[in-house]
Amino acid sequence: MKIDPVTLDIVKDSLIAVSNEVFYAFARTSMSPIIYETLDYASGIADADGSLLTQGNGACAFIGLIAPMIQEIVQKFGKEQMKPGDVYLINDPYMGGGTHLSDIGMVMPVFYDGEIVAFVGNKAHWSDIGGMASGSFTTDSTEVFQEGLRFSGVKLVDGGELCAQLADMIKSNVRFPAASEGDMWGQIASLRTGYRRIGELCSKYGVEVVRGSMKRLLDQGEIVARKRLAEMPNGVWEMEEFMDDDGHGNPVKIKVKITITDDEFLADFTGSSPQVASPINTGYSSLCAGVKVVYMSILNPSLAVNDGVFRPMRVIAEDGSVLRCHSPAPTSCY
């Protein structure tokens, strides 16, 4: 169906407004100062394929992490197994969207007329998630099992009903159970806010218009990014630097080669040190988030954060390196 561009832009801006409402709804309902004061969290909306449409962002280290988190949940469970009211929990640092265990991600599919039309997700630093150190922030852990509870994608809310056993297990393993439970419900409530608002947009404008606006968001982001990229000088730039050490007396090499062409921004970290026995290791998702911060800063810091903008960007890192670690590497400080 043909949709006039004015309507598409109205709905497109409405989607951005929904993402912002989800963001502020969580800040107003959270229990931890690190969330409502420091804004160490992010929220976002993705289309039915899991592509990020728009993101409300506090900590810049979360830029672009909502989509891979959603895609990981979809890959594990399958959309055909999902139903209205479901909420999934994920904080695994080695999976999509992972950073460290303290950053709890939640994903909710949005249904309209019995079909998934979008996903809403958020990711927030809880004050404690268990482990060997208060606050779950360790500088001397040697494996991830010392750092707290790890959720590799589990269902927290099933069809609108909280999984009480999982919630009880969380409260029994954290140092601040009341605050953690409050943050948990704050995240769930903000996702439900996004669910309602997207449903209202579908009711007002129709599903096809909303889908068209989602595509327009992504396509416009890509057009602007490629136009800006084409204005940059082409070339290759390399840098090699060392962290002081890994906490055990060993220097840690970080190596990067940046290649810019008319249609690609490539960050290649091949040659960086292997993963180490201290919590400075980084998973691939958080490495990509770091690159996205620099990429957005160069292109235009005021650009909307969505996967259309990131289409020209590519990140390479060796599996098992300090920048693309795997279990059981500790990641508290990532």
Residue 325 lies in a domain: no
Identify residue 77 by its one-letter amino acid code.
Answer: F
What pLDDT does 230 receive?
93
194 and 285 inside one domain: no
pLDDT at 98: 94
Q: What is the pLDDT of residue 64?
A: 87
pLDDT tens across the length of the chain (334 residues): 677 888 888 998 899 899 999 999 999 999 999 999 999 999 999 999 999 999 987 888 888 899 999 999 999 999 999 999 999 999 999 999 999 999 999 999 999 999 999 999 999 999 999 999 999 999 999 999 999 999 999 999 999 999 999 999 999 999 999 999 999 999 999 999 999 999 999 999 999 999 999 998 999 999 999 999 999 999 999 999 999 889 899 999 999 999 999 889 999 999 999 999 999 999 999 999 999 999 999 998 888 889 999 999 999 999 999 999 999 999 999 9
Is there a domain that residue 202 lies in?
yes
Beta-strand relationship, 41-47 and 115-125: antiparallel
Do 191 and 236 share a structural domain? no
Are 210 and 242 found together in one domain?
A: no
Environment class of residue 330 by beta-carbon count within 10 Å: exposed (0-12), middle (13-18) or buried (19+)? buried
pLDDT of residue 8: 85
For the four alpha carbons of 318, 324, 325 and 330, in that order, the dihedral sign comes to positive
Domain span at 23: 5-219
Alpha-carbon Rg for the chain in angstroms: 20
237 and 213 inside one domain: no
DSSP 8-state assignment for residue 27: H
Strand order of the β-sheet with 87-90 is 52-57, 41-47, 115-125, 103-112, 87-90, 152-158, 161-162
Residue 162 lies in a domain: yes
* 148 and 18 in a common domain: yes
**In-domain check, residue 334:** no
What 3 state SS string does 233-299 have? CCEEEEEEEEECCCCCCCCEEEEEEEEECCCCEEEECCCCCECCCCCCCCCHHHHHHHHHHHHHHHH
pLDDT value of residue 84: 98
Looking at the structure, tell me whether residues 197 and 114 fall in a common domain. Answer: yes
Helix residue ranges per DSSP H, the chain: 5-29, 33-36, 66-77, 164-172, 177-205, 207-230, 284-299
| Same domain assignment for residues 110 and 158 | yes
- Quick check: 330 and 283 in contact, CB under 8 A? no
Kindly state whether residues 210 and 234 are assigned to the same domain.
no
pLDDT in tens, 193-211: 999 999 999 999 999 999 9
pLDDT value for 2: 73
- pLDDT tens across 250-279, in order? 999 999 999 999 889 999 999 999 999 999
The verdict on residue 333 lying in a domain is: no
